Amino acid sequence: MKKRVLYSLSLLFFFAQLHSQDAEFNNVNHSLVFLNPSFSGSNGYLRNQTDYRNQWPSLPGTFVFFNTCFDGYIKPLHGGISFSAFSNNIARGLIKQNKFSLAYAQYFSLRDSSLKIIPSVQLTYGLNTLDKNELSFGGPSYPSYGLPTTWTSLPAGQVHYWDLSAGIVFKAWTSYFGAALFNILEPNISFAGVYKTPMRGVIHASHNEWINRHAKINVFLSYTMQGTNSWLNLRVLNSNYNNPFMWGMGYKAYLGNDPKVVDIFKGRNNVSFYLGLRQKAFTVNYSFDFQPSKLSGNTAGSHELSISISLKRKDDAQRLSWQEKMERNCLERK
* Total Cβ atoms within 10 A of residue 312: 17
Written as one string, the DSSP assignment of 290-314 is E-SSTTHHHH--EEEEEEEEEE--G
As to burial, measured by CB atoms within 10 angstroms (0-12 exposed, 13-18 middle, 19+ buried), residue 241 is exposed
Alpha helices in the chain (DSSP H): 2-18, 32-35, 259-264, 296-299, 322-333
The mean pLDDT value for 232-254 works out to: 87
pLDDT tens-place string over residues 43-69: 888 999 999 998 776 665 567 899 999
How far apart are alpha carbons 199 and 228 in whole angstroms?
11
- DSSP-assigned beta bridge partners for residue 12: none
**Cβ atoms of residues 274 and 283 within 8 Å:** no
CA-CA-CA-CA torsion sign (197, 291, 252, 33): negative
The number of distinct structural domains making up the chain is 1
For strand 200-210 and strand 115-130, is the pairing parallel, antiparallel, or unpaired? unpaired
pLDDT exceeds cutoff 70 at 330: no
pLDDT tens-place string over residues 158-205: 999 999 999 999 998 889 999 999 999 999 988 877 888 999 999 999
Q: What is the pTM of this model?
A: 0.81
Q: Where are the beta strands (DSSP E) in the chain?
A: 46-55, 63-74, 79-90, 95-106, 108-110, 115-130, 158-172, 175-182, 200-210, 215-226, 229-240, 243-254, 269-279, 282-290, 302-311
Q: Which domain holds residue 170?
A: 2-333
pLDDT exceeds cutoff 70 at 9: no
310's CB contacts (< 8 A; 6+ apart) are: 43, 45, 46, 47, 281
| First CA to last CA distance, the chain | 62
How far apart are alpha carbons 217 and 331 in whole angstroms?
13
pLDDT exceeds cutoff 80 at 12: no
pLDDT tens-place string over residues 147-156: 555 555 667 7
Percent of the chain's residues with pLDDT above 90: 42
Q: What is the pLDDT of residue 313?
A: 54
Pick the residue with more confidence: 149 or 302?
Answer: 302
Rounded to the nearest integer, the mean pLDDT of the chain is 79
pLDDT exceeds cutoff 80 at 136: no
List the CATH number of the domain containing 274.
Answer: 2.40.160.40
Q: For residue 281, which of 314, 255, 251 has the smallest C-alpha distance?
A: 314
Identify the DSSP state of 166.
Answer: E
